[in-house]
Structure 1
Amino acid sequence: MTQTSTRTRIQATPLTCTIGAELHGVQLSEAARDDTLFAEIKQLLLRHKVLFLRDQDMTRAEHVAFASRLGPLEDHPVLGSDPDHPGLVRIYKDRDSKPEHYENALHCDATWRDCPPMGAVLRCVETPEVGGDTIWVNMAEAYRRLPEHIRTQIAGLRARHSIEASFGAVMPREQRHRLKARYPDPEHPVVRTHPETGEKILFVNAFTTHFVNHHTPENVRFGQDHAPGANLLLNYLISQAAVPEYQVRWRWTENSVAIWDNRSTQHYAVQDYWPAVRKMERAGVAGDRPA
């Protein structure tokens, strides 16, 4: 079913029953300057959690201008930013790049920050003839479909998220320690509440290392419940993002764009294309402290 706005020409075609819609009839370069267009795109984003558009032939400045309407942009401490467009990260994988394991894991961007990103706008500059798709997951649906006893068990749990254990793992020890000193492992709720929609969201992912308040008399009878038991529960929760019914998969073409709500989704960049070239540019939008 296609949803056509009565105020604008935007058409939003859902791609699955739970997440994702492709937009037609709009250019993001125009929406960056048009309050009505932008407001409608924002409402569609909250509804569908990730939006897709094709044939968005926009400049880097226009890319940044649109993303900035969602909120202030932020740099990445490891990947850096385009020198002329702060907040715009070039994610270029060429024939000389070795395959790596940061993108091809189900993750929510930068939960190793006290305030993880609100979302991002990702544009495809160059893509392989085949391969290099990206998957997004609806983590509100993942929470909603958990068994009731699990939702009760995790209601008050909190967990640590680490950049040291992910990006830092390949660094020399001193550099890794400096990275952790700059971004100490934050503590986030296992179930966060979306600040705009009020939805409950399962908020653990590949950056999550352990629960911080599981070892209580209510949860632990013996030591076996503490370490192995907590790890099994965390792994079970993280695994929910792999359920196909919560996912949408997008095949990139040049100048196609994805806009996603990082608060309620996870994503996975499929690395099945090396040594082909894949070049993406992402503007990340600063977010709030999960609660």
Structure 2
Amino acid sequence: MMLKVTPLTPSIGATISGVSLNKDLNIGVIEQIYSALIKHQVVFFRDQNISPETHLKLAENLGEIDPGHPVYPHVEGYQSIVLLKNDANNRPDTNDWHKDLTFKESPPFASILHGVKVPKVGGDTLWASMSAAYDQLPNGWKDHLEELEAIHDMGTFRNDFYKEGGIDSVNNALKNVGSAVHKVIGTHPISGLKYLNVNQSFTRNIVNESQGPSDHILQFLFQHISKPEFQVRFHWEDNSVAIWDNRITQHYAVFDYLPEFRHMQRVTVVNDKRDKS
């Protein structure tokens, strides 16, 4: 079976059609999906009313599954499927540019997001290519950033812990969740592309820089990353599915649909089983 892969922008994103994820998940289909993911960084499917079992099977074919999110709830009976239900009584907190879980020493490889029930209007998600963003940096900036590292922590998740138990809960979470240091410029292990490896949600400081110079560097990069030329915008429909390579992309869930209801389910893949590095 040959899938149809249709690019959406020159930088990032493609739709995949001609497949039923519930019925056709053989090794040949998985390899075509993986190849499209590496090339386009995020891929989309329409009309895929996938079961939790299919959701997990697709993830397992890509790599090891994350056992559960440190903050968000899970689908009943499926610890590894994150449940994201938002409306006027449960406002989302994903409306900023971020890579998932970069406060971990080894952030996850990929995520598979299933739009179960979505608003007719609004609630889009944007993805941005960090390799395209790197390519368009001025040469002087590329040279300067090459040797830099940055500290990442749990960022805006502080608010979730504060709601649960005040400042003591935040302090305990900072201790238990921890921080990580990552190179500002990463190299993708499969494609070999260089990419920007900072994000507004979780990157806090440039290592060995005082706060002023660190803020200057990070704010320049955050503004650069937000250019539309590096982005694709996806309008969800019920039973749409998105798979993205978290190593080389960032995403932003647009918060414009309240008081409408938005129900998403996500599985995160910790590592890439095809990465032998």
Which range, TM-score by smaller chain? over 0.9
Q: Counterpart of 2:205? A: 210
Selected match of 1:166 from 156, 175, 190: 156
Partner letter of residue 158 of structure 2?
G
Instruction: Kindly indicate whether the alpha-carbon contact (under 8 Å) linking 1:121 and 1:257 is maintained by their aligned counterparts in 2.
Output: yes
Q: Counterpart of 1:259? A: 243
Partner letter of residue 82 of structure 1?
V
Q: Counterpart of 1:114? A: 105
Q: Counterpart of 1:286? A: 270
Instruction: Kindly indicate whether the alpha-carbon contact (under 8 Å) linking 2:73 and 2:84 is maintained by their aligned counterparts in 1.
Output: no
Q: Sort the Cα spacing of 1:31 and 1:182 in 2 relative to 1 into closer, same or farther, 3 A.
A: farther
Partner letter of residue 35 of structure 2?
Q
Instruction: Kindly indicate whether the alpha-carbon contact (under 8 Å) linking 1:49 and 1:265 is maintained by their aligned counterparts in 2.
Output: yes
Map 1:1-291 to 2 at 5 A: 8-32=1-25, 34-74=26-66, 75-97=68-90, 99-100=91-92, 102-163=93-154, 165-170=155-160, 171=162, 172-206=166-200, 207-214=202-209, 226-287=210-271
Instruction: Tell which deviates more after alignment, 170-179 or 133-142.
Output: 170-179
The gaps in structure 1 that reach 5 residues or longer are 1-7, 215-225
Query: Residue 94 of structure 1: CA displacement?
Result: 2.7
Q: In 2, Cα distance between the equivalents of 1:167 and 1:153?
A: 30
Partner letter of residue 178 of structure 1?
N
Q: In 1, Cα distance between the equivalents of 2:177 and 2:18?
A: 41
TM-score, with normalisation over the residues of structure 1? Answer: 0.88
Ranges of 4+ aligned residues in structure 1 off by more than 3 Å = none
The structure having more radius of gyration, on CA atoms, is 1
Query: Residue 31 of structure 1: CA displacement?
Result: 4.4
Q: In 1, Cα distance between the equivalents of 2:231 and 2:269?
A: 22
* CA-to-aligned-CA distance 1:240-290 (integer Å, 9 cap, x gap): 2210000000000000000000000000000100000011000011138xx
Identical pairs, percent: 36
Q: In 1, Cα distance between the equivalents of 2:24 and 2:95?
A: 31
Q: In 2, Cα distance between the equivalents of 1:139 and 1:233?
A: 16
Instruction: Kindly indicate whether the alpha-carbon contact (under 8 Å) linking 1:123 and 1:258 is maintained by their aligned counterparts in 2.
Output: yes
Q: In 1, Cα distance between the equivalents of 2:5 and 2:144?
A: 37
Query: Residue 187 of structure 1: CA displacement?
Result: 0.6
Instruction: Kindly indicate whether the alpha-carbon contact (under 8 Å) linking 2:205 and 2:211 is maintained by their aligned counterparts in 1.
Output: no
Q: In 2, Cα distance between the equivalents of 1:9 and 1:184?
A: 44
* CA-to-aligned-CA distance 1:187-222 (integer Å, 9 cap, x gap): 1110111111111110000210001133xxxxxxxx
Instruction: Kindly indicate whether the alpha-carbon contact (under 8 Å) linking 1:54 and 1:255 is maintained by their aligned counterparts in 2.
Output: yes
Q: In 2, Cα distance between the equivalents of 1:70 and 1:188?
A: 24
Q: Secondary structure at the match of 2:58?
A: helix
Partner letter of residue 156 of structure 2?
S
Q: Counterpart of 1:223? A: none
Partner letter of residue 53 of structure 1?
F
Instruction: Kindly indicate whether the alpha-carbon contact (under 8 Å) linking 1:82 and 1:89 is maintained by their aligned counterparts in 2.
Output: yes
* CA-to-aligned-CA distance 1:95-132 (integer Å, 9 cap, x gap): 422x34x3100110111111111010001011111000
* CA-to-aligned-CA distance 1:12-55 (integer Å, 9 cap, x gap): 011111100001101222343x0011011101100000000000
Query: Residue 227 of structure 1: CA displacement?
Result: 2.9
Partner letter of residue 35 of structure 1?
I
Q: In 2, Cα distance between the equivalents of 1:189 and 1:183?
A: 20
Instruction: Tell which deviates more after alignment, 68-77 or 257-266.
Output: 68-77
Instruction: Kindly indicate whether the alpha-carbon contact (under 8 Å) linking 1:29 and 1:66 is maintained by their aligned counterparts in 2.
Output: no
Q: Secondary structure at the match of 2:36?
A: helix
Q: In 1, Cα distance between the equivalents of 2:71 and 2:215?
A: 28
